[in-house]
Amino acid sequence: MMNRQGRKSGTGGIAAGEAPETFTGHSGLDHVEPLIFEIGDNAKTGVDLPAPGDFTPALGGLARQQPSGLAGGGLPGLSEPEVIRHYTRLSRKNYAIDSGLYPLGSCTMKHNPRLNEKIARIPGLSDVHPLQPISTVQGSLKVMDELAHWLKTLTGMPAIALSPKAGAHGELCGLMAIRTALEARGDARSLVLVPESAHGTNPATAALCGYGVKSIPANARGRVDLDLLKEALDDNVAALMLTNPNTCGLFEDQVIEIAEAVHAAGAFFYCDGANFNAIVGRVRPGDLGVDAMHLNLHKTFSTPHGGGGPGSGPVVFSEALAPFIPLPEVVSDGEGLRLREHPGDGDRSFGRMTAFHGQMGMFLRALAYMYSHGADGLRQVAEDAVLNANYVLAGLKDVMSLSYDGPCMHEALFDDSFLKGTGVETLDFAKAMIDEGFHPMTMYFPLVVHGAMLIEPTETESKASLDEFIFALRSLAEAAKAGDTARFAGAPHLAPLRRLDETAAARKPILRWVPNSSVEP
Amino acid sequence: MRYLPLENSDRQKMLRSVGVSSIDELFADVPEAARLDKLLDLPLHMGEQEVERRFAEMARANHCAGDGPFFAGAGAYRHHIPATVDHLIQRGEFLTAYTPYQPEISQGTLQCLFEFQTQVAQLTAMEVANASLYDGSTGCAEAILMARRVTRRNKAVLSGNLHPQYREVAETITQFTADELEMLPVSPGEPGADLAALMDALDNDTSCVVVQNPDFFGHLQDLSGLAEAAHAAGALLVVVVTEVVSLGAVMPPGEMGADIVVCEGQSIGNGMNFGGPYLGLFATRQKFLRQMPGRLCGQTEDAEGRRGYVLTLSTREQHIRREKATSNICTNSGLCALAFTIHMSLLGETGLRQLAMLNHQRAVELKAALARVSGVSVLGEAFFNEITLELRAPAAPVGETLAGQGIIAGVPASRLYPGDPALENLLVMAATEMTSEADIAALAAALAEALA
């Protein structure tokens, strides 16, 4: 009998302990799953709709030809049970927070509460159009107003723009307000300072805002070098973009001096709030001299990452920047809440970041999270996140190489010097973690240390979970040092797939399915 | 606190392991002046019931679309979402995964993205599509930036009938870049005038013309002539589609000669959610691939020769290229893209066409019913599921009056174009498969009364 690859299934004997070659190609719970285009059918549908009645179309002669005759064929459909099975099987090939510790530094992969999902689906809040009459959306505006109040209180900042769609969009929002404020005082500046350790979005955003980028080196303690920063600050610098706690997992302990130096030069202090989870309830960025900071609701405030979005990136602002923030804005006018959607006379708002009002579905989740924690719980979040990271740091520092002395904040940074001479690289080490049942840590970022490994456990891991993680990493570090390189070179061995050829993917991109193009599944 | 696994006894043990006596020692790097030593002035933690109670109260202060006849569109549309879609996107393996940077343990997300990219390319009749952007409006701005990179020209011409908030976003995003925008005037009653103006505006500096189809007022147009004119002038044609269901019934932009297609994909699989999160679809020609913004998923093989998928061509992206990246985008709209893909897999070509024709039929019926109302004239002849009415009185107060009767009548143009007397009486309305005959009858009667 031939299997789907057209070869005979393994019928010979198998050695004890060895996995058999299966007829189907499936491997127990892990199924080989074809593409929807290989199993679906243009004529099939999994939705029962009433047939359109007899009427005269008014499409102006622009009806789509059916079947479309496009290269690539038509869109395949499947019945409901087939769709459920297809996507359920695919889902099982994903690692997720729900299934295990996800220590991606700088990404804050914390538990995503299901209450948030329930709240976001209340019809009275989800089945609402963004342009309904204002009198009919007072509840939605109240949600936005509440969220704004909580975020302003937590950050100690007086103004907020809720509309940015994600962190990078928030960065752009912040920098645009800065540039607008500078231009309003007739001050054309051309440069943004960004520490070496910054996220890639920071320089990319500065460029989109028309600024050149100058990199500021870190000092031996993994912080911004204050002297070099002062040297770089002049009347051509528009802003410093600084992540605090920084991407080495360290609090910038000279942040107040940094803010003073930036302000003394007439520039603004933009803080990348990606790591706010470490300090929520314990430190207000407004007390550090920050002028603008985005908050990743999908990090600190637990909205799900969803396999790469949607995020949400509200930006808080200082008094100095408040007049320039984008619209819309929720305001109270005595009779209730309303949306200020258009600039009035003399308005200095820099514009609009997106159609409509922002990621409302994420606002609901984030607010449900904040209500659940309260002022007390949020402070505990920061404390537990920092404690968990330091516990991991303490458990690993004798077998792995810590880049900077602790204590760290919410994430611990290691470099690859402990692997020197073992033949094992950061990538191999991280891939071996997959075989141990963990998602790898963030690798090769930040760029300031060699072969970086950035571990952020978050506050939603138990002590038992951290202990298992620490023991697993210790055993891997010891295996590497003991010369057990086979374990690393081909890792992962136990994932749905082995390492993938990314070079081939980029050299000859195949970005969509076309008939008969597929290699054998 | 139900989300925090550590007990005080754990915390004490762990502090000892770390070698400190209190949590405060771990925050020693925070300057003393900035340390908060007490709780902020916000409520304390709440149980699930209390949280639900608070949100239920806020929900009651809304009138939601399901509460009565509903006709709002203008870039966000009310469609039915099969229960399967919402079930599958809530599987924790999809919901709580990060961007698939580790392909060996992210094949679920990656294969879905590959399916998504293919569906978007097929739907728009384009060669390649990315793995999504934030939404249609930001996608439109990205298309303008991309057209400059492709053509090395910097003047984009924007149709007067492009969604006004898309125009505002484009203006905002390009205000500090090398792009210049030429904004054509609004022509709600004469779509042909807009097309003619776009053709006239083309010159040797034009990077692209940006046109919406159906346009903001619902008019459908053949863009083939504009595509030819744009190409003859060395410019790109950017087509924006805010109602993606229309592509089930209407000739796709790729067949009209579009070079970049941007859609708001919310209508398939995603609810209105008061404006977000939505889903930017972005498709183009193969030859412009390397100037495309956003993530891309590509097919490859693993070490044992098995087919698999990875994020690819990331040398365009910010985490590699930093200030030289094609865009600053990092997060996209992954879960919304998944909802789109699942819904599209349920529909298939057959279901999508049925859905689209049902929408169109409802709009035809809506137009017929409203054309009989005294004081109403319907603008335009060719449309999909959205039409614009010219009322005998300003539209916003009429909309408020009907809202008071539980009818969301549509979006007054003045909401988006304030202070333009020529547009004050216009009401933009959509009908979808959710619209019933009774809804249409109730609207027509209420409108007749309000205008009497």
pLDDT in tens, B60-92: 999 999 999 999 999 999 999 999 999 999 999
**Cβ atoms within 10 Å of B419's Cβ, excluding its own:** 8
- Cis omega (within 30 of 0) for bond into A245: yes
What is the mean pLDDT of the segment spanning A200-210?
91
Residues 6+ apart with CB under 8 A from B206: B153, B155, B156, B157, B230, B233, B234, B235
Nearest-Cα distance to chain B for A354, in Å, is 6
B178-212: pLDDT as tens digits = 999 999 999 999 888 999 999 999 999 999 999 99
Identify whether B136 is part of a domain.
yes
| Domain end call among B285, B313, B344 | B344
Contacts of B349 in chain A (CB under 8 A): 42-43, 66-68, 74-77
Residue B209 and residue B191: Cα distance in Å, rounded? 15
CB distance A368–B90 less than 8 Å?
A: no
Residue with tokens 């002049």: A234
DSSP secondary structure string for all residues of A380-444: HHHHHHHHHHHHHHHHHTTTSEESS-S--SS-EEEEGGGGTTTT--HHHHHHHHHHTT-PPPEES
Å from A481 to nearest chain B CA?
25
Residue numbers in A near B352 (CB within 8 A): 75
Please check the confidence at residue A1 and state whether its pLDDT lies above 90: no
Per-range mean pLDDT, top range of A18-22, A24-28, B21-25? B21-25
Identify the structural domains of chain A with CATH numbers, from first to last: 116-369 (3.40.640.10), 377-505 (3.90.1150.10)
Cβ B172–A168 below 8 Å, yes or no?
no
Q: Which CATH number fits the domain that encloses residue B407?
A: 3.90.1150.10
Closest CA to B267 of B110, B411, B136: B136
Q: Which residues does chain A have within 8 Å of residue B292's beta carbon, measured at their own beta carbons?
A: none
Non-local (6+) Cβ contacts of B159 within 8 A are: B184, B194, B198, B209, B210, B211, B212, B215
Does residue B305 sit in the same domain as residue B386? no
Q: Specify whether the CB–CB gap between B337 and B296 falls below 8 A.
A: no
Q: Is residue B17 part of a domain?
A: no
Q: Which residues of A touch B346 (CB under 8 A)?
A: 45-47, 77-78, 80, 83
Q: How confident is the model at residue B240 (pLDDT cuts 50, 70, 90)?
A: very high
Same domain, B221 and B127: yes
SS3 B62: strand
Quote the pLDDT of residue A68. Answer: 54
pLDDT band at B430 (very low <50, low <70, confident <90, very high): very high
**pLDDT tens track for B117-157:** 999 999 999 999 999 999 999 999 999 999 999 999 999 99
Q: Is the pLDDT of residue A4 over 90?
A: no
- Do the Cβ atoms of A52 and B321 come within 8 Å? no
Domain termination site, one of B344, B372, B391? B344
**What count of Cα atoms within 13 Å lies in the side-chain half-sphere of residue B224?**
7
Least confident of A445-454, B174-183, B319-328: B319-328
Which of B218, B276, B154, B74 is CA-nearest to residue A353?
Answer: B276
Interface touch B350/A102, C-beta < 8 Å: no
pLDDT band at A8 (very low <50, low <70, confident <90, very high): low
**Closest residue on chain A to B398 (Cα):** A133
Residue B267's domain is classified under what CATH number?
Answer: 3.40.640.10
Residues B334 and B402 occupy one common structural domain: no
Does A308 touch chain B if contact means CB atoms closer than 8 Å?
Answer: yes
Cis status of the peptide bond prior to A407, with omega within 30 of 0: yes
Closest CA to B379 of B190, B164, B186: B190
Report the pLDDT value the prediction gives residue A17, as an integer from 0 to 100.
72
Q: What is the pLDDT of residues A482-498, one digit of tens each?
A: 999 999 999 999 999 99
Within 8 A of B36 by CB-CB distance, chain A residues are 281-284, 379
Decide the pairing of beta strands A268-272 and A292-294. Answer: parallel
**How many inter-chain contacts (A to B, CB under 8 Å) are there?**
730
Please give the backbone phi and psi of residue B222, each rounded to the nearest 5 degrees, phi first: -85, 120
Interface of A with B in 118-157 (CB under 8 A): 118-133, 135-140, 142-143, 150, 153-154
Same domain? B399 vs B334? no
C-alpha closest to that of A427 among A474, A506, A490: A490
- B98-112, pLDDT tens digit by residue? 999 999 999 999 999
Secondary structure (3-state) at B182: strand
Amino acid A3: pLDDT: 56
Residue B116 belongs to domain spanning: 83-344
Reported as type and span, the H/E element at residue B282 is strand B280-284
Q: What is the pLDDT of residue A71?
A: 45
Nearest 5 degrees, angle CA B415-CA B421-CA B423?
55
Residue B53 placed within a domain = no
* Record: contact B274-A140, CB cut-off 8 A: yes
CA distance B111 to B107: 6
pLDDT for A107 equals: 94
Q: Write out chain B residues lying below 8 Å of A356, CB-based.
A: 75-76, 165, 274-276, 278
Give the model confidence (pLDDT) of A327-353 as tens digits. 999 999 888 999 999 998 889 999 999
B87 Cβ partners below 8 Å, 6+ apart?
A84
Q: Give how far B38 is from chain A: nearest CA, Å.
A: 8
Cβ proximity of B285 and B125 under 8 Å:
no
Q: Which residue out of A39, A82, A127, A378 would a mutagenesis test of the B interface target, given it has the greatest number of B Cβ atoms within 10 Å?
A: A127
Q: Could you give the angle at the alpha carbon of B355 between the alpha carbons of B353 and B361, nearest 5°?
A: 100
Same domain flag for B171 and B247: yes
What does the block give as tokens for A317? 């602002």
Q: Which residue has the tokens 């989800």?
A: A126
Given this model, what pLDDT does residue B331 score?
A: 75
Q: Which one, of B246, B433, B244, B268, lies nearest residue B343 by Cα? A: B268
| Residue B58 domain-assigned (yes or no) | no
- Position B384 in a domain: yes
The three-state secondary structure class of A83 is helix
On whether residue B393 sits in a domain, the answer given is yes
Q: Do A462 and B10 touch (CB under 8 A)?
A: yes
User: Domain check: are B367 and B307 in the same one?
Assistant: no
- pLDDT band at residue B314 using 50, 70 and 90 as cut-offs: confident
Residue B317 is predicted with a pLDDT of 74
Query: What's the whole-number mean pLDDT along residues A141-165?
Result: 98
The verdict on A428 touching B (C-beta cutoff 8 Å) is no
Q: How many domains does chain B have?
A: 2
pLDDT digits (tens, 9 = 90+) for A95-152: 999 999 999 999 999 999 999 999 999 999 999 999 999 999 999 999 999 999 999 9
More confident of the two residues B424 and A10: B424
* Nearest neighbour of B105 by CB, restricted to A94, A256, A287: A94
Residue B420, in any domain of the structure: yes
Question: Which residue in B33, B7, B2, B39 sits closest to A387, CA to CA?
Answer: B7
Question: Is B22 among the domain residues?
Answer: no
Q: Which of B344, B363, B391 is the last residue of a domain?
A: B344
Subunit contact B115:A35, Cβ cutoff 8 A: yes
Summarised one tens digit per residue, pLDDT across range B325-351 is 777 877 789 999 999 999 999 999 999
Same domain, B254 and B373: no
Q: Is residue A448 within 8 Å of residue A225, measured between CB atoms? A: no
Fill in the DSSP letter of residue B184.
P
List chain B residues with CB under 8 Å of A65: 251
pLDDT tens across A354-406, in order? 999 999 999 999 999 999 999 999 999 999 999 999 999 999 999 999 999 98
More confident residue, A408 or A198: A408
Same domain membership, residue B284 and residue B144: yes
Taking 70 as the threshold, does the pLDDT of residue A69 lie above it? no
- Assess whether B300 and B386 both reside in one domain: no
- How close does chain A come to B293, measured CA to CA in Å? 12
Indicate which of B46, B98, B326 best probes the interface with A, i.e. most A CBs within 10 Å of its own CB. Answer: B98
**What confidence tier does B399 reach under pLDDT thresholds 50, 70, 90?**
very high
CB contact under 8 A, B345 and A130: no
Decide if A287 touches B, using CB distance below 8 A.
yes
Element (H, E) at A268: strand A268-272
Q: Which residues from A are below 8 Å from B252, CB to CB?
A: 64, 68, 70
Together in a domain, B331 and B380: no
One-letter amino acid at B318 equals Q
Q: Which residues of chain B are within 8 Å of residue A52 when distances are taken between CB atoms?
A: 354, 357-358, 360-361
**In whole numbers, what is the pLDDT of chain A averaged over residues?**
93
Residue B210 and residue B330 in one domain: yes
Q: What is the pLDDT of residue A406?
A: 86
Average pLDDT of the residues in A304-327: 97
A343: how many CB neighbours lie within 10 A of its CB? Answer: 16
ipTM, 2 dp? 0.97
Do both B334 and B260 map to the same domain?
Answer: yes
- The answer to whether A357 contacts B274, with C-beta atoms less than 8 Å apart, is yes
Which token pair is A461? 């891991």
**Phi and psi based region of residue B313 (left: phi greater than 0; alpha: psi -120 to 50; beta: remaining):** left
CA of residue B300 relative to chain centroid, distance: 30
What pLDDT is attached to residue A18?
78
- pLDDT bracket for residue A11 (50, 70, 90): very low
Look at residue B225 in the predicted model and tell me its pLDDT.
97
